[in-house]
């Protein structure tokens, strides 16, 4: 668990990572990276799936039968992040009681 002394550092590092991800041209253009390893790692980011999903629907008029893998990926990532946040929230409430 992160101690109170580590929170500013973790926040700063997290902000830099998120900012770099947002300004990255690759996150705006889906997964066009030269490295296969980087491409696989980026599949863990929800914005990658959202961009692929949005491009398919807006540019190609894709239906649910085409974009369902992105919907599933977004649901799994969202569910995992929600479960993590819920566990941390319960832990914080437990420490208060």
> In tens digits, what is the pLDDT along the chain, a chain of 97 residues?
667 677 777 677 777 776 666 666 555 555 555 577 777 777 888 888 898 898 999 888 888 899 999 999 999 999 999 999 999 999 999 988 7
pLDDT on residue 93: 92
pLDDT on residue 48: 86
pLDDT on residue 20: 66
pLDDT on residue 28: 53
Residue 49: CA atoms inside 13 Å, Cβ hemisphere, count? Answer: 19
Show me where the domains of the chain are located. Answer: 7-96
Assess contact for 28 and 55: CB atoms under 8 A. Answer: no
Assess contact for 30 and 48: CB atoms under 8 A. Answer: yes
Q: Give CA torsion, residues 86, 90, 91, 93, to 10 deg.
A: 140
Any residues with CB less than 8 A from the CB of 49 and at least 6 apart, and which?
A: 43, 70, 73, 74, 77
């Amino acid at each position: 668990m992160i101690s109170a002394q580590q929170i500013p550092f973790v926040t700063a590092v997290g902000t830099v990572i998120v900012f770099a991800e947002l300004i990255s041209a690759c996150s705006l253009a889906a997964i066009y990276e030269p490295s296969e390893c980087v491409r696989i790692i980026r599949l863990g980011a929800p914005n990658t799936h959202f961009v692929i999903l949005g491009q398919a629907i807006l540019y190609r008029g894709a239906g649910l039968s085409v974009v369902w893998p992105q919907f599933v990926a977004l649901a799994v990532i969202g569910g995992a992040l929600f479960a993590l946040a819920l566990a941390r929230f319960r832990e914080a409430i437990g420490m208060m009681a």
